[in-house]
Amino acid sequence: YMQKFETTFSKAAIIIPAFFYLIMIVISIIFLNQIVLYLTRDIGTMMALGIGKGDIVKLLSMVSLCISAGALVVGYVIGKIISIIGAKVFGEIYQLPTISIKLNILLIAASILITAIIGQIAVLASTGRIFKITPKDAMLNNETNKVKDALESKIKILSIKLLLKKKSLFTNHILH
């Protein structure tokens, strides 16, 4: 019975983290793309000052490593707390024997490496957006475009109102 439990537990210990790593890849790519979008003006300004795109990618890479390290620490702490509470609850409910899980240094090192690689994959996915940014485009970032679009729509509304007013004046003039 215990051998079957350990085999199942070992398989789950591989499958569950793999699933979360896949989710982490998607979230990291979306997050870093949003950072690049948010920092478009800053990136364009840095380029205008002569900082190369490679240096900007290196900076984003360092940001990604810091975020990955923080996420790894927070995830480890939360996982440890949940596993301790879960073991106590399930141990009392199902009267399971206490199992001591050894800390696997190799597994921790692999997690650190995988987390760093995932962060760098997200940076590589974001570089396409960075390489498209020019200093001119950076000055016309999304906020400027939103204002521009709002002004254009107001101008269109005013134009339509003016046309309708002229049409009504014209029809009133002809009828009278």
Of 112, 87, 82, nearest in space to 97 by CA: 87
Query: Contact at 8 Å (CB) between 34 and 125?
Result: no
Residue 64 confidence (pLDDT): 87
In whole numbers, what is the pLDDT of the chain averaged over residues?
Answer: 78
Who's near 31: CB < 8 A, 6+ residues apart? 67, 122
Who's near 61: CB < 8 A, 6+ residues apart? 119, 120, 123
pLDDT digits (tens, 9 = 90+) for 14-65: 788 888 888 888 888 888 888 888 888 788 888 888 888 889 889 889 988 8
* Tokens coding 155: 């101008």
Of 159, 64, 170, nearest in space to 117 by CA: 64
- Kindly report the number of other CB atoms within 10 A of residue 60's CB atom: 22
Residue found by looking up tokens 């498209």 in the block: 132
pLDDT at 99 over 70: no
Mean pLDDT of 138-143: 62
Whether pTM > 0.85 for this model: the answer is no
Alpha carbon 17 to chain centroid, angstroms: 19
> Which residue blocks in the chain are alpha helix, DSSP H?
2-38, 40-48, 53-94, 105-132, 135-139, 142-175
Q: How far apart are CA 167 and CA 156, in angstroms?
A: 16
Q: How far apart are CA 7 and CA 85, in angstroms?
A: 22
Q: How far apart are CA 21 and CA 164, in angstroms?
A: 59
Mean pLDDT of 84-100: 77
